[in-house]
Structure 1
Amino acid sequence: MNENTEPDLSKTLEAVYRTESRRVLATLIRLLGDFDLAEEALHDAFQAALEQWPRDGMPANPRAWLVSAGRFKGIDGIRRHARFDALDDVAGQVDAAVFETAAGDEESVEDDHLRLIFTCSHPALALDSQVALTLREVSGLTTEEIASAFLSTPTTIAQRIVRAKAKIRDARIPYEVPAHEDLSDRLDAVLRVIYLVFNEGYSASTGSELTRHDLSGEAIRLGRLLIELLPQESEASGLLALMLLHDSRRAARTSPNGDLILLGEQDRALWDREQIAEGLMLIMQAFRSHSIGSYTLQAAIAAVHAEASSSSETDWTEIIGLYDLLLQANPSPVVELNRAVAVAMRDGPEVGLFLIDAILSRGDLTDYHLAHSARADLCRRLGRTGQAEVAYRQALSLARQEPERRFLERRLAELKN
């Protein structure tokens, strides 16, 4: 092979790793029956490709080649472990791997990817472990990247992943797509994990930055993948629409120095119209189904905002109606709070304040800084400066994100002017 083609092949191999490594891993987990062994086999397969492809040329089907190479590397690993650890079931493991169906089968590989998503989000695992395992195994993020995104330590993230893998092994959690009658409940867990990842990227729970686009972007990628694998699931479309519509505002949500800009004050010319158009199309698809879920309803609310030229031109009556439907589908004090804010925009701050006080008087959302911030804003608009100050200070005591804290401090300072 001449010198000019070697760098090109190296770039091609890097591209193959980016696009195919997670699919190859998913199939190797099925073939070898073990996460760690499959990961080791994956790396061995790419190392073999790095050595052989420059000499022999790139195979016609790189994914199938990598699966085949990884499978036999894994089998060698099983035999090595058996020699030293005397595993009782090594013969069965080797036979199962050797006589597995053709590794390059396209439909089988896509099924494997779906199996991996459902396994990583299995309800027997703790939610934080589901998130860590999904980002590690489905997305391919390193433990360092996951730790940075969630302001944790690599050791903590690694421990969560190890515990999750041990739980899957010890509880014999099946590596499979749930049966049709169980799919709805299990899909909810997958969607919840993806949405949790998105929310942490869209509005970070702590830290100096309002957003972490790498994390919200990864959630959107997972949402696209889920629709590709389960095109008939309307709530998957609803979730992707919701994420796209929220993410479309990203450029307008902060000032050049990183300060928070509220929805009503954002420059809507900065909103990403391509993402909005895609989100609206997905909502239309979801609404054509017979079952409308909470993600689709939330996306519909975001769509009303996206279609309005300004806050004053927003159809608040439609938004309130959608919140009423959302409360029926998913009763939640946070949904009640958001509805109360919408009511205040339509009917005036006093009506909204009455609703928020009712929520807080029940003891709900006492530790939720956005509830106190919303109450403070309505008191400010009503000229009740003393009550506004108390509520802003309560919100400030609970907020952990620096842009939000700076916003609340500015509001407090404005009350004194």
Structure 2
Amino acid sequence: MDIPTFPFPADHALQVSPLLAEARAGSAPVRVQLGYGAPAWLVTRYEDARTVLSDPAFGRDRERAGIPADRVAGMTPIDPTSDTLLTEDPPDHTRLRRFVYRTFTPRRVEALRPGTERIAGRLLDAMTEAGGPADLVEAFGLPLPIQVICDLLGVPVAERRRFTAWTDALLSTSDLTGDEIRSSIDEMNGYLAELAAMRVEHPTDDLIGALVRERIEGDRLSGDELNNLVRAVLAAGFETTASQIPNFVFLLLRGGDYARLAADPGLVPAAVEELLRFVPLIAQGSLTRFVLTEIEVGGVLLRPGEQVLVELSAANRDGDAFPEPETLDIARRSNPHIAFGHGLHRCLGASLARMELQVALSALAVRLPGLRLAVPADQVPWHTARFVNRPRELPVAW
């Protein structure tokens, strides 16, 4: 029997492929072949997804699982998260995550909300003063999270262009070769090493400064580990939010829910959770998991050395977990989505992303209640060769 190619085709970047619903209806995991590496099992049901993401029978460390780098199932020639916190298992994962967790606690993140609101206000001031139509991606969606994450890291905002170029390279699925992606990683790591060296001479209170102190005073963090931690924080803390802001606005404008949000901005927190559930952000599902010990999932016996993908968007449309799952309901009350993952590797920056998305939608709804697409929805251009879905441009008027 032929193994189907994954990701499954869809008519639009923000559509969940109908083939995923078929796979979920069949209950059991199915075998798929991605662009690179060996075949993998695809999990689409909500409860099965939570099992794979949280059970210690699965890991993210390919070496621990005995899987060569060129056999890792993925959409990119090299794993963009390789050698970062995202590919570690305990005890190293526990040790490394502790270094950055304090920065992303809900309390610390909430303290960043007023500053994030000021950044959003300044960006919208500049956009409206320049006059419409405007590209919401370039004017608002990209600069808001990059300014926030640069403040957290202690990176000059003037370096935004370099960071976005590096992130684009890391998340490219077909535009760049493996050597080009590795070159971008080396360039980024070299820059981060320079920043760390500066903080040895001139200590700071930002995240890089705190990690440098851990390396010097605690002798528990190597230079490579510092670089890789910052790279993971940058990609997770910037790219996901920068993509979801235009994704969310596009769906709200196309479906008519934006006017409802503008009339009642109090709906923003519920709307953010529902959009997180509804929008298929990652083009290939979750990061690949490796089977460490034999376990049964969905009636299929998975054996050590096999690989598993969790399709988050399919799990978040499971009717057993969500009433009317195919309906975008921005006032949905109960919403236990797993858009940020689940278990040990749940997104470290979930609180930060949630806060930024709330600020972004609130600022737009209050400041620009008449926001609308400046071109027909089917003329909005989308990235087609990236690990993460988002429009290249989002022309808007108000």
TM-score (norm 2): 0.26
Higher relative contact order (CA closer than 8 Å, sequence separation 6+): 2
Structure with greater helix share of residues: 1
TM-score (norm 1): 0.25
